[in-house]
Chain A
Amino acid sequence: MLRIIACFKWVVDDADIKMDAASRKLIFDRVGFKISEYDRNAIEEATRVREQYGGTVAAVTVAPPSAKQCLKDVLSRGPDTAWFINDSSFSDLEPSQTASILAETLKSKIEYDLIICGEGSGDIYAQQVGPALAENLGIPCATCVNKLTYVESENRLIAERRLEETIETVSIPLPALVAVLPDINLPRIPTLKQVLGAAKKPFQNVSLEDLGKAPGAHLETKDILAATMDRRRLMFPADSDGIRSVVDALIREGIIS
C-alpha cells in the first residue's frame, strides 16, 4: 500500500494582478487564489498512481490560515486527506523555509513512501522546494519526470525524465520524491459529486506550535516591481497598405533583408 504525498501551493491568480504604471507597483486588490497549475499535475499523478497500484493520497500544503478554502479544492481533485500546515507568518515564504517546514511535518507526523511535487510554483517558480525537501528528508529524488511507473515487487519507481537533449530513465528505491512535468497527465476537472464529497473528507491542521520554531528566511526580498517592456505599440491596418508598411519598416530597420 503506497502512502503518497502530493505537495501543493495556494497561489495568487496572476491574471488578477494589476499594475500601477507610475509607481511600477503590483496591485493585489481583489486577486483570486488557486491551486498552482503545476501542482495540479502532482495531485493528478498521485491520484493516478493510487488508482493503478492502490494506496492513499495525502495532499500537503504550507500556507497562511486565510488559505483554508484550498482544502476543499484539493480534496475534490482526488486526495483522501489533506494536511494544512498553517500560520499567519506562512505567507511569502521563500523556498528554503517551505522545504524546511514540509520536512519537519513529514518527519514528525506523516508516513510516506512517495512524494510528488509539481515543476515549480505558479507564483515565484523557484523550482526548489521539491529537491530541497528530498535533501532535507535524506531521500533520493528525480525532477523533470514525464512518466512514472511503480515496480511493486521491488518497491521502486521507474521514472522517465525529459531533459534538454535526452530522455533519461531512472530507477529509484522508495521512499523517494519526484517532481513532475505538466504534460505527464491532464488533471481531471472535479465533478459536482467530487466537489460535494470533498467537504466530507478529513483534513489535519498543523500549527507552528506543533512544529516548534519557524525557519528564518535565507533569501530576503528587497522589492517586487512590475516588469515593464518599452515597446512602440504601432498599430497598422489589416489591409495591403498596412501590411506593406510593416514590411517596409522591418526592412528599413535592418531586421529582414
Chain B
Amino acid sequence: MAGIWVFAESRDQTLELLNAGRELADKLSSKLTAFAADDKLAREFIDCGADKVFLLPPLPDDQPFESHVPVLADTARDEDPDAIFIGASSRGKEMAARLAARLNTALCSGCVSFELDKDGKSLKMGRMVFGGAGIQTVVCATRPQMATFAPRTFEPAQPQQGRDGEIKQLSSAPASAVRVVGRAPKQCGSVDIIGAKIIVCVGRGLEKKEDISIAQELARVLGGEVGCSRPVAEVLHWLPEEVYLGISGQTVKPLLYVGLGVSGQVQHITGIRDSKVIFAINRDENAPIFDVADFGIVGDLYQVVPKLIEELKTALKV
C-alpha cells in the first residue's frame, strides 16, 4: 500500500480532504500525503494529519495552476499511491480528469461518500447521477483510485500535538501551452451563500426582478442570504451566478432553506439536500419541492410572504 494522496487548490479544501484521508490511511495502515504551496502550509498540513507534504514550486506569472498536472502525473507514477483525493474546485475538476487520463486510471467525480469494500482495499464510492435523482455506487478497477469531492464534503482536520512529517520539493512544472494573459477578481457582492445559516431562495414563481426585494426583506428578518434557482441566475440574470443553488451551482447546508416559488427540479434539490429544514411556499400544490420539504404552504407567495414577515417580526421582535 503506497498511501493516500490529497490535493486541493486551497488550504481549506486540503484540510477537509486531510480529515477524510487520515481516517482512511489509518484503516489501511498507510501514509497520507498532501500538497502545499509553501513551507508554512506544509507544516500546518503535517499537524493536521499529513505524513508527507510535497511543496509545489511557484509558477511563472503567465502559467495557470493546472500546469502542475504533468509533474503530479510523473510523481504519481514514481510513488504509486493507492488513492488520490482531489478537491473539486473548478480547476481541481479539470486537473483530476487530466491526471486520471494521464495515469490511465478511474476517477469518481463528485464523490459524496465512500467506504472500504469487503476486500479491505477497494473504495466503494457514491456519487449523484441524473441531476440528483440517483446515487451511483462505483469502484475503481484500476490504480490509483481517484475521486473528487465538492468543498465542505468533510469537516476540516484539526491540528494534533506532536505530529511529524517529511517535506519534499516537487519538480518545477513544464511550460504550459495555455498562458494566462489576464486575471480579474470576480465581481460578486459580499453574499456568503455557502456559509449562510438561513437561505431564502427564489425560483421562477417570482414574476419580476423587482420582486426580489420581497425575498431580501424576508432574508433580512431571518438574518439570512438570498439565493436562487438556476434559471433565475442564468436565464433571467436577476441574481449573480454565484448564488444559484443546485448540482452545477452551489451546494449549501443551511439550518433553514425557504423556497419562494421554487418548483424543486431534482438538479436544484441536490444542491440543498443537506439543509436541516426545508420550507417551501409555492402556488402549485403539485410542485415537486413539497415532496422534499419539511414544511409547506400552498399559496401565492405575494400573499404569504408579507404575512410571514409580519409574523416573524412579531415572534422574533425584530
Contacts and interface: CB of A to CB of B under 8 A. Distances in A.
Contacts of B110: 125-127
A125 B138 contact: no
B183 interface: yes
A134 interface: yes
Interface in B155-203: 176-186, 198
Nearest to A103: B101
A196 interface: no
A28 to B, nearest CB: 10
Given A132-B98, A167-B183, A256 B316 contact: yes
B29 interface: no
A246 B298 CA distance: 13
A243 B184 CA distance: 45
A82 to B, nearest CB: 25
A164 B65 CA distance: 13
B183 A234 contact: no
Interface residues of B, number: 82
Interface stretch (A1-9, A59-67, A91-99): A91-99
A126 B186 CA distance: 25
Nearest to B73: A135
B279 interface: yes
B128 to A, nearest CB: 7
B247 to A, nearest CB: 7
Contacts of B104: 96, 218
Given A183-B241, A231-B293, A124 B129 contact: yes
Given A96-B100, A131-B98, A244 B311 contact: yes
Contacts of B205: none
A141 interface: yes
B93 A143 contact: yes
B107 interface: yes
B102 interface: yes
Interface string A222-253: 11111101011111111010111011111101
Nearest 4 CB-CB pairs, A to B? Answer: A238-B299, A218-B106, A169-B182, A135-B101
Interface of B: 64, 89-91, 93-94, 96-98, 100-102, 104-110, 124, 128-142, 176-186, 198, 222-223, 234, 241, 247-248, 255-256, 266, 269-270, 273, 276-279, 290-300, 303-304, 307-308, 311-312, 315-316
